[in-house]
Amino acid sequence: MNKIEQLFQQKKDILNIYLTAGFPKLADTVKIVLELEKAGVDMVEIGMPFSDPLADGPVIQHSSTEAIKNGIRLEMIFDQIREIRKHSQIPLILMGYLNQLMAYGEKAFLEEAAQCGVDGLIIPDLPVEIYQKQYKQMVEDLNLDMIFLISPQTETGRIKLLDAESRGFLYVVSSSSITGQKADLQQAQKSYFDRINRMNLRNPTLIGFGISDRKSYEAACRNASGAIIGSAFIRALEKEGLLKQHVHDFVKSIRS
Amino acid sequence: MNYSPDKYGFYGDFGGAFIPEMLYSNVELLRQNYVGIIESKSFQTAFKKLLQDYAGRPTPLYFARRLSEKYQTNIFLKREDLNHTGAHKINNTIGQILVAQRLGKKRIIAETGAGQHGVATATVAALMGLECIVYMGEVDMARQAPNVARMRMLGAEVRPAKSGSRTLKDATNEAIRDWINHPKDTYYLIGSVVGPHPYPDMVTRFQSVISREMKIQLLEKTGRDYPDKIIACVGGGSNAAGAFYHYLDRENVELIAVEAEGLGVDSGQTAATTQTGSKGIIHGSKTLLMQNEEGQITEPYSISAGLDYPGIGPLHAHLFKSRRGTFLGATDTEALQAAFELTRLEGIIPALESAHALAALKKIELHPGENVVINLSGRGDKDMETYLNHLDEYNNDKNGK
């Protein structure tokens, strides 16, 4: 069992915060993660900035563009994670796109990720069928959790498949929207969440996309094991002032 | 050699559907239905009728006498520039709008580079009375202003893509995002043989009308239904895929694809994917693309907005890797020269994209008695501003001779 699986056994109402590595400044990654942990966040998802992030909205794309301009590279992200691991055992997820893994060499990437202390991976453009054929054995041997996404359009049979292949948790996309667009966690959403909860999935679920404030976080907690917040946090980091203060203010605004 | 994709959409090592889950149901709906729709009698009847009466097909295969004399070979131009809306793009948009209708979709989105695909999409959306939104890079909107105006007159909304290099790649990203946000009512009408399976195969099928007509026309004009060489430009590669399609298995026909070298392959300002790219994933397809060692996709450059794309369709990556296709490049300057040459010898102003194919005449071995088909994919109306900026250079050239 790795850190993500342990976390879900121990806690409810998980708060998972997304940040873009190398943003707003190249070296901020370590500081932000450690402050997030101090502020009480349960898990952190670190985005590997990509030039063409199809599954991300404009806020995260912008932060990725800035981070690339800052000079972020995969080697640096691995070093930053090593640095985090000297001080913290918070569960860490790396999020990125398959092209980045291919350029690094998939095997080398996975080994390096596991070695530096990553617990889980989210690769939104990796099809589950390709995962099964090419990567699953390697990922499981390294004790990494591969986390798959489901959306309101995902059919029951496919939800079962994605649940069967996910480890740690299943990422429930709150509405069919890209990240950063405020979701109305109401009627249609509710029946979607109820449908998932009735399925008795083997994994716990976290709701992401459009979770931006206390209200939507609490709604997510009523319908799943917790929530993932990305764009709203990135926006908070863009404000003038002390980074540390932004991190604590933001987390406080979500749950105190 | 097999040049059709397998059931997962792979041409050899290239292709597939590397898409976020939010797009899965839409792409899957299309994958399950496209062959059945396209092969149905009602579709074929409607498609052929529109190609003939609306687009103006068949397009002529024109023997270019003066150009042939200059290059000491027989050069034929497949006149896709004479299609309604001015390029081969309409072949595909007619096909896909009929597919969209049969899938019950009401809202059409598209990406465009030079604006030719955007215009062709706005045109068929107007024809069918469907809402149409076209994403176009801000840089391209400026350099292809006439096409922006045409799309707006046709009732389409043109939305600028402001990220990255603000060209075709970024417009495609925005279109895909729009599709993720509108999973139910929206049909994404892709303009080239790129994107996730089944798009490359579907678009190739719609563009294959080009080589189907070529066979008949060559038989009439030369007594053989095949040429010795076919030359076409490649950005994503839809006109080349259509011009090559019925000859893919005819190993005696040389298939020549011409990419845009921009300011030169070593200048860092280029769009020559096979020369400067490597294997990776772009817009949901595993193919060759321009990227750095970190897998960040490079911002391409070409004078031609339609070729300003950092990838190529997976079929072309396969043709390149298997050596079935010959891949060449032409710089901005070579393309401009070729455009003025065709204009002055034949009275035909080609699109800047097609001018790259024409520029290959100076780069390949040509023999008297050989038959060479150049796919003249589009007309140059949209490029007049660029051409006029270079008019003096070529007028001086002429006076100097």
The partner residue sitting opposite B293, judged by closest CB among A50, A103, A178, is A103
Find the length of chain B.
401
* Residue range A3-254, CATH number: 3.20.20.70
Whether residue A46 has pLDDT greater than 80: yes
Instruction: Report the Cα A155 to chain-centroid distance in Å.
Output: 23
Q: How many CB atoms lie within 10 A of CB B278?
A: 14
**A20, A48, A50, A54: best to mutate for the B interface, most B CBs within 10 A:** A54
| Predicted confidence (pLDDT) at residue B401 exceeds the cutoff of 80 | no
Burial B255-274 (b: 16+ CB within 10 A, else e): bbbbbbbbeebeeebbbbbb
Q: Residue B163's pLDDT band (boundaries 50, 70, 90)?
A: confident
pLDDT digits (tens, 9 = 90+) for A187-226: 778 889 999 999 999 999 999 998 999 999 999 999 999 9
**Is B295 in contact with A104 (Cβ distance < 8 A)?**
yes
What would the two tokens of residue B64 be? 């270019």
**pLDDT score recorded for residue B195:** 97
> What's the confidence (pLDDT) of residue A188?
76
Residue B3's Cβ-side half-sphere holds a number of Cα atoms within 13 Å equal to 23
Instruction: Flag whether pLDDT at A181 surpasses 90.
Output: no
Question: In the predicted model, is pLDDT for residue A176 greater than 80?
Answer: no
Q: What is the mean pLDDT of residues A17-22?
A: 98
Say which residues have a Cβ less than 8 Å from residue A62's Cβ, sequence separation at least 6.
B163
Give the pLDDT score at A186: 67
Q: Which of A84, A72, A75, A158 lies closest to A117 in space, CA to CA?
A: A84
Of A98, A155, A173, the CB nearest to B281: A98
Is B111 considered catalytic here?
yes
In this predicted structure, the answer to whether residue A131 has a pLDDT above a threshold of 50 is: yes
From chain A residues 144-203, the ones with a CB under 8 A of any chain B CB are 148-155, 158, 162, 173, 176-178, 181
Helices (H), B129-271: 138-143, 145-153, 168-181, 199-207, 209-222, 238-244
Q: Say whether B213 is catalytic.
A: no
> What integer best gives the mean pLDDT of chain B?
96
pLDDT band at B395 (very low <50, low <70, confident <90, very high): confident
- CB proximity list for A132: less than 8 A, separation 6 or greater: A165
As beta bridge partners, residue B373 has: B76, B230
Token pair 């250079």 is found at B393
Res A231 pLDDT > 90: yes
Task: Tell me the pairing of strands B186-188 and B107-112.
Answer: parallel
CA-nearest residue to A74 within chain B is B294
End-to-end CA separation in angstroms for chain A:
29
Q: How far from the centroid of its chain's Cα atoms is residue B295's Cα?
A: 25
Fold of B11-51+89-202: Rossmann fold (3.40.50)
Out of B8, B180, B283, name the one closest to residue A176 (CB): B180
What tokens were used for B189?
């009408």
Ordered strands of the B131-137 beta sheet: B157-161, B131-137, B107-112, B186-188
* pLDDT of A184 above 90: no
Q: List CB contacts (< 8 A) between B280 and chain A.
A: 99, 102-103
* pLDDT score recorded for residue A241: 87
A6 close contact with B: CB closer than 8 A: no
CB contact under 8 A, A125 and B281: yes
CA–CA separation, B210 and B236 (whole Å): 17
Q: Residue A190 has what pLDDT?
A: 86
Pick from B20, B169, B280: CB nearest A102: B280
Are B21 and A148 within 8 A, CB to CB?
yes
**How many CB atoms are located within 10 Å of the residue A75 CB?**
11
Digit-coded pLDDT (tens) for B213-246: 999 999 999 999 999 999 999 999 999 999 999 9
Task: Assess whether pLDDT exceeds 80 at residue A135.
Answer: yes
Q: pLDDT (tens digit, 9 = 90+) per residue, A142-161?
A: 999 999 999 999 999 999 99
For residue B218, with 0-12 CB atoms within 10 Å meaning exposed, 13-18 middle and 19 or more buried, which class applies? buried
Residues of A with catalytic roles? 45, 56
Domain B56-86+208-398 CATH class label: alpha beta
Average pLDDT over residues A94-108: 98
pLDDT digit string, tens, across residues B339-390: 999 999 999 999 999 999 999 999 999 999 999 999 999 999 999 999 999 9
Residue B298 in tokens:
């490079």
The residue among B136, B168, B144 whose CA lies nearest residue B86 is B144
Q: Which of A65-79, A173-187, A224-238 has the lowest mean pLDDT?
A: A173-187
Search chain A and give the residue with CA nearest B29. A153
A to B CB pairs, distance under 8 Å = 108
Q: How far apart are CA B97 and CA B94, in angstroms?
A: 5
Q: Tell me what pLDDT residue B400 has.
A: 42
Amino acid at B30: L
Residues of chain B with CATH 3.40.50.1100: 11-51+89-202, 56-86+208-398
**CB–CB contact A148 B169 (8 Å):** no
Half-sphere CA count of B44, side-chain side, radius 13 A: 6
Assigned token pair, A252:
């406080």
User: Mean pLDDT across the stretch A103-120?
Assistant: 98
Cα angle, residue B55 at apex, residues B54 and B61 outer, rounded to 5°: 140
pLDDT value for A240 = 87
- The residue-averaged pLDDT of A130-137 equals 97
CA B151 to each of CA B41, B115, B135, B158, B350: distance values in angstroms, whole numbers, following the listed order:
31, 8, 11, 7, 21
Looking at residue A210, what is its pLDDT?
87
- Name residues whose C-beta falls within 8 Å of residue B373's C-beta, 6 or more positions apart in sequence: B61, B76, B77, B78, B214, B218, B227, B229, B230, B231, B243
